[in-house]
Structure 1
């Protein structure tokens, strides 16, 4: 559906060349919600703008629905862009136009018949829950309502891809939750592929199937939401996960740990979160288990537990306990307590 191959983007500025994207290789499958997370300046906005060719790559390939945008004509690119909707952080609505006119604008620009415009706008306003607001103006709406209008406008031309550029970062938590539910509804009912960039890991946790973590123009790790949340491979990934999962070991815990203690992080997912594996380990092996820190939360409706424990016992007994965890599909990793 969307694929980046060796994507590079540089900008020339008064202080020299800025390398915004560096050898990006990603693939977004049809019908999924794919998140790209990173701090400001990571390159994520530049990446998403390459999909609808608001930014032209310096090198590499951007493939949308099988067409390489870097190798086709301007006319062909325009036709492909009609199938790409975009939702912006600050809504980008026309304050001088009514809600109806804002949603209708893409269809008006396509010279669609008035009857077709009326039918489509009515359908979309009903879909986003604002059927009674069509005669109002953006300044009369709340932030969440403005974003719903922005989403309805992005859907006007029946796109197969929806790009979301920090679509919830200007909203309060409750409104954010409602917008995320709307995006899920769009994905499920219209089968629209969503590429979403954000600096909020909570957004990724709620609706994304897969996620890429960006830093300094690079994709530093990529995987399913479960993979990234359960076993982040980079410091930046761990920092993002910790903003919502609170997996970092507190100092008061590390102060209790001796240098030769066997410390492990154990992740419990789905059905394993409710089973008494730690008590079973104490019964099966001559090992004392001490839970130092942890929590249980949900990842997209699936229970997810994260515990920091110490195992005390002979090396052979501890090895047996760890093998028992592995045999039961429980992810664990040794922890350097002093590094968190």
Structure 2
């Protein structure tokens, strides 16, 4: 478990101070895959680097497995850090060493017996699918293979926590999916808690159980990935969700609607779980004197739960449209007006 309590990180830049983290409170439970998302400069890297003390926090406290690393002796700190693995955006491999030696390095530094090192490295290279690359050097590998080496190295000391610092942002989409699937496998088979920082909402959707949105050093929104996707509360969260849902109505469609004379209204309808299969629009067309025009629609899956998103135009009398809205509100869906009276 990782806990941030009132964490503040301030950098001194000459006479100026830059507050990278501002009173952050966050709890990541054992076994979670937890994502922290934010734009460049939001404080993501500072946040994750405070966990293993690559950055020293200015105020507050970070505990890992109920240990405050700042309160440990040097020997205790070394032991605690071995329990925290980290993978990096640009891999951070030793170019002059083989794949085997790169993965073995944490164990070599711990002065583990050679046979133990060999067994552990062989096991990890099998796990990440690179046993045949043991004698290769990093410059002989693809980006995805380099990241797999980085992951194997991070797992060498059998950590209970894995930190991922923009671990897929240097990779192409297909390789990104392969790395994310590997991280899922690590979480499931080793029960390792994973903290991921990223600026890509697609990464959050694909792998994370929970997410926190970081803006200007503050957590502005947090919750399950499903809740944040379905009901984003802040502008920055809505922007991130739209980046993967692609649910904006084109301006050309708005222009066509405005050119019409009828009273019409536009609504976003969000479906959850079993309700994605309900014939709601068909029922509305049969029950009420309104025309239903689907402007946009998509169905995806979040945490193995179907998630549907429709943008609908209702055309007809205001009184009848209001009856439709009352009916929809009684169903297992969420509806919100997007544009009022654009006729």
Q: Deviations over 1:9-44 (max 9, x none)?
A: 000013610000011111111111111111111100
Counterpart residue number, 1:93: 93
Q: Deviations over 1:92-148 (max 9, x none)?
A: 000111111000000111111111111110100000000111111111111110000
Q: CA deviation at 1:7?
A: 0.7
Give yes or no for the alignment of 1:217 onto 2:220.
Answer: no
Counterpart residue number, 2:112: 112
Counterpart residue number, 2:61: 61
Conservation of the 8 A alpha-carbon contact between 1:99 and 1:149: yes
Distance 1:75 1:323, change over 3 A: farther
> For residues 246-257 of structure 1, what are the structure 2 equivalents within 5 Å?
246-257=246-257
**Structure 2 CA distance, aligned partners of 1:194 and 1:125?**
20
Secondary structure at the counterpart of residue 211 of structure 2: strand
> For residues 1-340 of structure 1, what are the structure 2 equivalents within 5 Å?
1-14=1-14, 16-258=16-258, 261-313=264-316, 317-336=320-339
Q: CA deviation at 1:231?
A: 2.0
Q: Deviations over 1:238-285 (max 9, x none)?
A: 221122110222212222345964321111233222221111123234
Q: Deviations over 1:294-314 (max 9, x none)?
A: 222333554322111133455
Q: Deviations over 1:186-209 (max 9, x none)?
A: 000111010001111111111011
Distance 1:219 1:190, change over 3 A: same
**Structure 1 CA distance, aligned partners of 2:337 and 2:74?**
53
Conservation of the 8 A alpha-carbon contact between 1:88 and 1:166: yes
Q: CA deviation at 1:183?
A: 0.4
**Structure 1 CA distance, aligned partners of 2:335 and 2:25?**
29
TM-score, with length taken from structure 1: 0.93
Q: CA deviation at 1:72?
A: 3.8
Conservation of the 8 A alpha-carbon contact between 1:289 and 1:312: yes
Q: CA deviation at 1:316?
A: 5.6
Q: Show structure 2 runs of 5+ residues with no match.
A: none
Q: CA deviation at 1:317?
A: 4.5
Q: Show structure 1 runs of 5+ residues with no match.
A: none
Conservation of the 8 A alpha-carbon contact between 1:253 and 1:293: no
**Structure 1 CA distance, aligned partners of 2:24 and 2:295?**
40
What's the C-alpha RMSD, in Å, of the aligned pairs? 2.1
**Structure 1 CA distance, aligned partners of 2:70 and 2:287?**
61
What is the number of residues matched between the two proteins? 339
Which range moved further: 326-335 or 11-20?
A: 326-335
Q: Deviations over 1:217-253 (max 9, x none)?
A: 1111112111222222222112211221102222122
**Structure 2 CA distance, aligned partners of 1:3 and 1:315?**
51
Distance 1:78 1:108, change over 3 A: same
TM-score, with length taken from structure 2: 0.93
